[in-house]
Chain A
Amino acid sequence: MSDEKISAAGAPVTAAPQKHRDPLALIVRFQSLIGLVLVAIGGIIFSPRRHGEILFLNPDNIANIVRAVSETGIIAIGMTFVIITAGIDLSVGAVLGLSSVVTASMMISGGFGLIPTILAVLVMGIVFGAIQGTISTRFRLEPFIVTLAGLQAARGLALVVSGNQYINISYGDGPGLAPPVFAVLGERLFNNTVPVATLVFIVFAAIATIVLNTTRFGRYVFAVGGNERAARISGVPVSMVKISVYAITGFAAALAGIVHAGQFNFGSANDGMGYELTAIAAVVIGGTSLFGGAGSMVGTVAGTIMLGALANILQLNNITPAMQLLATAAIIVLAAVLQSLVRRREGLGR
């Protein structure tokens, strides 16, 4: 991650060294990585100790941090695409809940196998997102309002499917039981160190980074957010790009929902509430502009882990959840202010 250059829009155009960069712009460019380092240093300093061991650095604790952020992280990866196009997707938390319910009920009451279930849920997420994207582009509606409706719709569907009950997942062979391999999502691999949920997050992030920075589609995403009218005039298929990014967030939310069901062994229509806001926060802290046209996947990953690490330190020190919320609020504001300062320096802001 460290040798990955976070560019305003994908790979740098030339290898030419850049002269006299604004230090503030550099800070903002790497703000989430810098923030992550600062939080880590803070974690080490303020961590409670037991027999001289720094609890924050305990492998179990670190595994816990990266496991806890994996679901919002997966969602934030998808959200980064949408926000770079200057859009927003509020439905992701609800789609996570819906996906966890559908995953559980397909395997438990439906008797479907693992692979068909996962494929069906992922396709459902893609279709759900694509419908929102289509409505938004076809009728020229703000994505805010379309995905707000999508949030309600997904929660409603989840309640219908689940009958407002937890659907517990029991493992075993035979009808009404899920394949035991599904439970791996709640476990750790490699000598009980790396949580599987985190692996899913990291692999998804790696693929998304490649798609955003090296493919034609990634370039279109930046173009649409940078200036939609200019992109259209240059021949970019703007509507297709917009529909696709909502399909990606739908896919990400469904993936997170499957991970959720596997980690907690149940499907619940009311889970994932507020995840969309945590994901948006991670994306913004990661340096992606809500105005569109600029952003980085690596920043989103760093922003996600930073928020998780911060929550962890505060928990380790028995600081109340209320204070955690306030600390998160302060970081979001700081990240946004830094970006605004750079825009003004560049003479692009108002």
Chain B
Amino acid sequence: MTAPLLVMTGAVKRFGGVQALRGVDFDLKAGEIHALLGENGAGKSTLMNLLSGVYTPDEGTIEIDGKPVRFNNPREAQAAGIATIFQELDLVPSLDVAANLFLGRELMRPGGFLDVPAMRREAKKRLEAIEIAIDPGAMVADLSIGQRQVVAIVKALSYASRVLIMDEPTAALTVGEVERLFDIMRKLAATGVGIVYISHRLEEVPGIADRVTVMRDGRVAGITEPHAPQAELVRLLVGRPLDELYPQRAKGAGKPLLSLRDASFKLARDSAGWQAPQGVSLDVHEGEIVGLAGIMGAGRTELLSALYGTGLSGHWEGEVAISGRPVKLDSIKAARHAGIAFVTDDRRGSGLMLRMAVGLNLVMSVIRRISPNWLVSPRRQAEAVKESFGQFDIRPKNPDIAVGALSGGNQQKVVLAKEILGNPRLLLLDEPTRGVDVGAKGEIYARLRALAAQGLGILVASSEMPELIGLCDRIVVLRQGRNVAEFMGGVDEHTVLAAANGREA
């Protein structure tokens, strides 16, 4: 594994007046796992798109096995052995695993009929080759995100098998699933596949990568050892030493804000795969940030959406109180009336009107406030927008551009700013920094802490353990819809993981 499998030299790519890549050198050896880090807008997506044939470079060359290649479309890159797994997996949820694996290249019987048994057999063989037990006849829609990821990998490798490019593969995975994914990646690398691993999560790098390239502003900021100190990686990423990522914790919390006592959410109709809260008891005090930990399917998202009334229909049993007064949280209206705001884990799907201007998105939760007498007051609207821009450093500082054109971090700031405009007393956050770069993360944590200092209570669910441990005052661990343990912030990760998995630490 000495001769590079893939070499990119001096790659330049412009989009209109914007230079996305300004002369990037990158190489990958066979059997190597090469991590590519960079904040949003650093150019790693563009680099990936050049390698996978989505774009062609304006300048620079790509060589495979020392021979120059030029990809005009993704198919040519696949033919050269480069497989790409995009963040949004290109699987058809309503088809089964085998049908997805053979989509577009179905095995046929004479006469033009699908040979389903042969495809299932072959699919099973390929899944077993990486020691994964997924039923080839299962609908993709019924698989967990982690399982879908595996199917996408197997599918990509069946097209092309020399280079595997993975864009943020762990963004939606739980800790256990990440470990399984890493196992698969190591096995693949051992067979000689070169893997480009794109990620935001610095802490994963030492565990998986052989080499790390950090990008910034369309250039390579540095190539380092995976075991380089995290501070060094952060310095390369943001171009300056970053202050403490997590802000100081609060001195003490205020009065109880949200109190659940043996509270269960009874579904109107049973639904498999939706882990309703079961006998949950927890408190969120004014000025306190409480984390919800748990493995995938433990019911973190379900608890938040049941409190906000966006989950499945049903009703709460047991004690649910806000500021000591019992409340009936059965609809969004009731939740908002109680002073609760909610930020979903899916900002593109259910957080933002992507094609609408940033400003119009920001005022969405306060339309009533800015339209006394039913007429929208441009002055009140401008004031609200200004307030949001004062709260969060949203870039670019222009409320008139479509929010979909912003980076992930800035979109997340818009979603948060939007809900905070409504002056909630309790903020429910689901994966508040998913797909957000380190710089924006730090800013979001600082703002959340500042808001808590003003008395806001925050209940935050996250699959990123370091985030919960660093940000929260207390961490409540859920398992099968119940609260099974509680820790103070700063607890060590293994203790929380053990509780989440139901093991002794």
Residues of A within 8 A of B (CB): 8-14, 16, 18, 20, 214-220, 222-223, 226-227, 229-236, 289, 291, 293-294, 343, 346-348
Interface size class of B (residues with CB under 8 A): 35 or more
CA of A233 to CA of B336, assembled, Å:
9
Establish whether residues A347 and B376, one from each chain, have CB atoms under 8 Å apart when the complex forms.
no
In the complex, which residues of chain A have a beta carbon less than 8 angstroms from the beta carbon of B354? 226-227, 348
Give the nearest-CB partner of A294 in chain B: B355
Partner of B360 from A13, A232, A343 at Cβ < 8 Å? A13
Give the Cβ gap from A49 to chain B, nearest Cβ, in Å.
46
Asked if B344 is an interface residue, CB under 8 A from chain A, the answer is yes
Can you pick out 22 interface pairs between chain A and chain B where the beta carbons lie within 8 Å of each other?
A8-B357, A10-B360, A13-B358, A13-B360, A13-B381, A13-B382, A13-B385, A14-B382, A14-B400, A216-B376, A220-B367, A222-B356, A223-B353, A226-B353, A226-B354, A227-B353, A229-B350, A233-B350, A235-B336, A346-B404, A348-B402, A348-B405
Asked if B333 is an interface residue, CB under 8 A from chain A, the answer is yes
Establish whether residues B356 and A215, one from each chain, have CB atoms under 8 Å apart when the complex forms.
no
In the complex, which residues of chain B have a beta carbon less than 8 angstroms from the beta carbon of A289? 355
Asked if B368 is an interface residue, CB under 8 A from chain A, the answer is yes
CA of A220 to CA of B374, assembled, Å:
11
A14-B400, A229-B349 known; A216-B357 Cβ under 8 A: no
The total of interchain contacts (Cβ-Cβ below 8 angstroms) comes to 116
Give the nearest-CB partner of B385 in chain A: A13
In the complex, which residues of chain B have a beta carbon less than 8 angstroms from the beta carbon of A343? 355
The 6 closest A-B pairs by CB, nearest first: A226-B353, A13-B359, A229-B350, A216-B371, A234-B364, A234-B365
A227-B353, A229-B350 known; A14-B367 Cβ under 8 A: no
Establish whether residues A227 and B374, one from each chain, have CB atoms under 8 Å apart when the complex forms.
no
Give the Cβ gap from B379 to chain A, nearest Cβ, in Å.
11
Give the Cβ gap from A90 to chain B, nearest Cβ, in Å.
25
In the complex, which residues of chain B have a beta carbon less than 8 angstroms from the beta carbon of A348? 354-355, 402, 404-405
In the complex, which residues of chain A have a beta carbon less than 8 angstroms from the beta carbon of B489? none
CA of A219 to CA of B377, assembled, Å:
12
In the complex, which residues of chain B have a beta carbon less than 8 angstroms from the beta carbon of A222? 353, 356, 360
Establish whether residues A293 and B357, one from each chain, have CB atoms under 8 Å apart when the complex forms.
no
CA of A222 to CA of B399, assembled, Å:
17
Establish whether residues B356 and A16, one from each chain, have CB atoms under 8 Å apart when the complex forms.
no
Give the Cβ gap from B166 to chain A, nearest Cβ, in Å.
21
Establish whether residues A235 and B333, one from each chain, have CB atoms under 8 Å apart when the complex forms.
yes
Asked if B310 is an interface residue, CB under 8 A from chain A, the answer is yes
Establish whether residues A230 and B353, one from each chain, have CB atoms under 8 Å apart when the complex forms.
yes
Partner of A13 from B333, B351, B374, B399 at Cβ < 8 Å? B399
Asked if B352 is an interface residue, CB under 8 A from chain A, the answer is yes
Give the nearest-CB partner of A25 in chain B: B402
Establish whether residues A223 and B364, one from each chain, have CB atoms under 8 Å apart when the complex forms.
yes
Residue from the set B336, B344, B350, B404 with the largest chain A CB neighbour count within 10 Å = B350
Asked if B72 is an interface residue, CB under 8 A from chain A, the answer is no
CA of A220 to CA of B371, assembled, Å:
11
Establish whether residues A233 and B400, one from each chain, have CB atoms under 8 Å apart when the complex forms.
no
Asked if B110 is an interface residue, CB under 8 A from chain A, the answer is no
In the complex, which residues of chain B have a beta carbon less than 8 angstroms from the beta carbon of A227? 349-354
Asked if B111 is an interface residue, CB under 8 A from chain A, the answer is no
Partner of B405 from A14, A235, A347 at Cβ < 8 Å? A347
CA of A13 to CA of B17, assembled, Å:
26
CA of A9 to CA of B399, assembled, Å:
13
Asked if B398 is an interface residue, CB under 8 A from chain A, the answer is yes
Partner of A234 from B358, B402, B418 at Cβ < 8 Å? B418
Residue from the set B364, B368, B374 with the largest chain A CB neighbour count within 10 Å = B364
In the complex, which residues of chain A have a beta carbon less than 8 angstroms from the beta carbon of B344? 233
17 more A-B residue pairs beyond the given contacts A219-B371, A229-B350, A233-B308, with a C-beta to C-beta distance below 8 A: A13-B357, A13-B382, A13-B400, A14-B400, A216-B367, A216-B368, A216-B375, A219-B367, A222-B360, A223-B353, A227-B352, A227-B354, A232-B332, A233-B344, A234-B365, A236-B364, A348-B355
In the complex, which residues of chain A have a beta carbon less than 8 angstroms from the beta carbon of B265? none
CA of A9 to CA of B358, assembled, Å:
11
CA of A235 to CA of B418, assembled, Å:
12
